[in-house]
């Protein structure tokens, strides 16, 4: 991928709110960031977590809580949500990282169910209703986020910064070791790399960024709900990543846009959306396993 391509995408992102309904665009970006964070773990570390909604959702709750109860501003609110998700990621990671494959997935799922239960029962989470009416507030004290465009560009800036961080992580000395572990774990161990700690760091990074996505979303929609921490959301982020193409930087963005876009466009037909997305997923797994971006990338390489 060359620079021009990224610049075009960046400019499109800047112009988007004039062509697309800004709230939809913000939702797309939040889920795209969530999927990118998830992909850092699945695509670049080879770990399938089934509990990523725990980070996304708990960050949303924490941000909502500190902003409504403690009068935090949006910036410190998002930072609080993000840090909480990172800390939670450390706890999950320490418990799950020694297990592999299906066991790893099951442990993360179980821990996520605990977070879901706590979100339902704890006194400050609003139970079934979740947190409502989270104020958008004034960013840095002078940018009014109740203005849709201000809100949009804030979300866009967060997205770009996090995406850059993921890009950098993939192309860092750490990223090289991650890649080596994915390709041949015993060999990476025999070269003296502490594989568990490397994986743990990847897990915490992924959880932290998933938290940023959830925290941002809670400010955009001014709510934190049980849906955000439910295992459906964990499943949906897996779907987005696989559909777009795991292990590619652009894939999760394309996947998130496809899934969220379809849900939005087809909302008129009600629950049939789930069936259609399910069908698309089946076709994807059967016919083009690398996902949309993965397949395009392969065709591109072949034709040159």
Residue 189 sits in the site that holds another protein (CB under 8 A):
yes
Q: Is 100 in the site for another protein (CB under 8 A)?
A: no
Shorter beta-carbon distance to another protein: residue 6 or 193: 193
User: Judged by CB, which is closer to another protein: 191, or 283?
Assistant: 191
Is residue 69 a contact partner of residue 124, using CB atoms and an 8 Å limit?
A: yes
Q: How far is the CB of 174 from another protein (least distance, A)?
A: 4
Residue pair 154/13 in contact (Cβ under 8 Å)? The answer is: no
Does residue 168 touch another protein according to CB under 8 A? yes
Taking CB under 8 A as the binding criterion, the range among 161-169, 214-222, 229-237, 275-283 that sits at the site for another protein is 161-169
Closer to another protein by Cβ: residue 67 or 165: 165
Residue 136 to residues 117, 148, 169, 223: CA-CA distances in angstroms? Answer: 27, 10, 30, 10
Q: Is 174 a binder of another protein (CB under 8 A)?
A: yes
**Binding residue for another protein, selected from 129, 144, 183, 265, defined by CB under 8 A:** 183
User: Does 99 contact another protein by CB under 8 A?
Assistant: no
Measured in whole angstroms, the distance separating CA 291 from the mean position of its chain's CA atoms is 17
Q: Of 29 and 170, which has the nearer Cβ to another protein? A: 170
| Whole-angstrom distance, CA of residue 60 vs CA of residue 222 | 10
Judged by CB, which is closer to another protein: 197, or 232? 197
Q: Which of 53, 205, 209, 246 binds another protein (CB under 8 A)?
A: 205
Report the residue number, 97 or 145, with the smaller CB distance to another protein. Answer: 97
Among 2, 4, 190, 271, binds another protein (CB under 8 A): 190
Residue 176 as a binder of another protein (CB under 8 A): the answer is yes
Asked if residue 198 binds another protein (CB under 8 A), the reply is yes
The residue among 183 and 265 lying less far from another protein, judged by its C-beta, is 183
Query: Under 8 Å CB-to-CB from 95, ≥6 apart: which residues?
Result: 107, 111
133 binds another protein (CB under 8 A): no
Binding residues (CB under 8 A) for another protein: these are: 165, 168-169, 171-177, 179-180, 183-184, 186-195, 197-198, 201, 205
């Amino acid at each position: 991928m060359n620079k021009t391509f990224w610049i075009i995408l960046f400019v499109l992102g800047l112009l988007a709110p004039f062509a697309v309904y800004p709230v939809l665009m913000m939702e797309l970006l939040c889920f795209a960031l969530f999927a990118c964070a998830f992909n850092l773990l699945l695509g670049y570390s080879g770990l399938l977590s089934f509990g990523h909604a725990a980070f996304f959702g708990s960050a949303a709750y924490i941000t909502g809580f500190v902003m409504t109860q403690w009068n935090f501003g949006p910036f410190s609110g998002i930072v609080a949500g993000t840090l909480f998700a990172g800390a939670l990621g450390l706890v999950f990671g320490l418990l799950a990282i020694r297990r592999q494959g299906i066991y790893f997935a099951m442990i993360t799922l179980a821990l996520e169910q605990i977070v879901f239960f706590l979100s339902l029962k704890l006194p400050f989470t609003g139970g079934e209703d979740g947190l409502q009416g989270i104020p958008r507030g004034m960013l840095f004290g002078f940018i009014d986020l109740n203005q849709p465009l201000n809100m949009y560009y804030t979300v866009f800036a967060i997205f770009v910064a996090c995406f850059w961080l993921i890009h950098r992580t993939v192309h860092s000395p750490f990223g090289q070791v991650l890649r080596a572990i994915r390709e041949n774990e015993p060999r990476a161990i025999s070269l003296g790399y502490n594989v568990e700690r490397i994986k743990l760091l990847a897990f915490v990074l992924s959880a932290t960024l998933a938290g940023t996505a959830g925290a941002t979303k809670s400010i955009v929609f001014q709510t934190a709900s049980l849906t955000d921490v439910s295992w459906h959301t964990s499943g949906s982020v897996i779907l987005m990543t696989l559909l777009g193409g795991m292990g590619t930087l652009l894939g999760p963005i394309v996947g998130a846009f496809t899934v969220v876009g379809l849900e939005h466009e087809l909302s008129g037909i009600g629950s049939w959306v789930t069936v259609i997305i399910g069908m698309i997923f089946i076709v994807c797994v059967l016919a083009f396993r690398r996902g949309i971006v993965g397949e395009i990338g392969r065709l591109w390489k072949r034709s040159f």
